[in-house]
Amino acid sequence: MVTRLDANSLIEAGILESSGSPVGAERFCTDLVVRVLGHHVASGAVIVRVTERATWQEVGGYGTLLDVSSELDGDTSADHPDYLAALREGHLVVPGAAPSGGTLHAIGISDPFLGLLLIDMTETVEMAASAATLLAHATRLCLTDSPSASSSPARRGEAVDAAFFSPRQLEVLELVADGKSNTEIGRRLSISASLAKLEVSFLMHALGAKNRLEAVVQAQRSGLLPTAPHPGAHPE
């Protein structure tokens, strides 16, 4: 029998009481597995974030994923393309990839920090988009309250490797440097303007930029873009 998780079922199970200050990442992951989801649904959860130097850092966790997160801790983000995909797409589901042999759910966070909630769940669980959105919100609160959290995902002057970004995001970056709006970027790459906006937001967070122009400057400093002058990037 398949168990379907949605936002309402998580709220009824007490997810809102298990997140937010002063609940830390370790307590949240423990409550998520033990009290909210239950061991019959999940056997481990962990929160990791991307540091200022584009490496993974364990924030806190519980259960079967602790060994995974400790092995991940300190690795460069580019070493784990699947996790980068989860950051970009929002929710990655990999059957059989969890330590228990179940399904690994990777829920991406891109605001205000870059990070992931990893959950080791049984194969008989189906997670609705509303549940993933609610879990992302709860994880965002943990990352915001984390002592390891900084004011921005990248500090000015620190390089971010090109491998951190997808080929499409690098194309978006070039178009931002050329002063293209989100609508123009969408048309050029045959994607929606809303998706173009998400990609631009992801780039700004990863580069530690407050706006599009700062993103271009930081990308130039990191070697992602040539230093030749570009038309002024205008906001949208």
**Residues 200 and 181 sit within 8 Å (Cβ to Cβ):** no
The tally of domains found in the chain comes to 2
Tell me, yes or no, whether 96 and 24 share the same domain: yes
What's the token pair of residue 70?
């400790």
* 40 inside domain: yes
Co-location of 171 and 66 in the same domain:
no
Of 96, 113, 145, at which residue does a domain stop? 145
Q: Nearest-5° angle of CA 3, CA 117, CA 157?
A: 160
Q: What is the pLDDT of residue 113?
A: 78
Asked if 35 and 141 sit in the same domain, the reply is yes
177 within domain boundaries: yes
Contact between 155 and 54 under an 8 Å Cβ cutoff? The reply is no
pLDDT digits (tens, 9 = 90+) for 32-62: 999 899 988 999 999 998 887 778 989 999 9
Clarify whether residues 88 and 190 are in a common domain.
Answer: no
Q: CATH code at 57?
A: 3.30.450.40
DSSP-derived 3-state class of residue 120: strand
In a domain, residue 100? The reply is yes
Task: Provide the b/e sequence for 188-209 (b: ≥16 CB within 10 Å).
Answer: ebebeeeebbbbbebbbbbbbb
Q: Is the pTM for the entire model greater than 0.85?
A: no
* pLDDT in the model for residue 154: 47
Q: 160 or 64: whose pLDDT is higher?
A: 64
Range of the domain at 73: 3-145
Question: Around Cβ 163, how many Cβ atoms within 10 Å?
Answer: 13
In a domain, 152, yes or no: no
The alpha carbon dihedral of 138, 142, 145, 151 has a sign of negative
91 and 183 part of one domain: no
Inside any domain, residue 226: no
Per-residue pLDDT tens digits for 161-212: 676 777 888 899 999 999 999 999 999 999 888 778 878 877 887 777 778 8
| Mean pLDDT for the stretch of residues 133-162 | 66
Mean pLDDT estimate for the chain: 83
Two tokens, residue 226: 């040539």
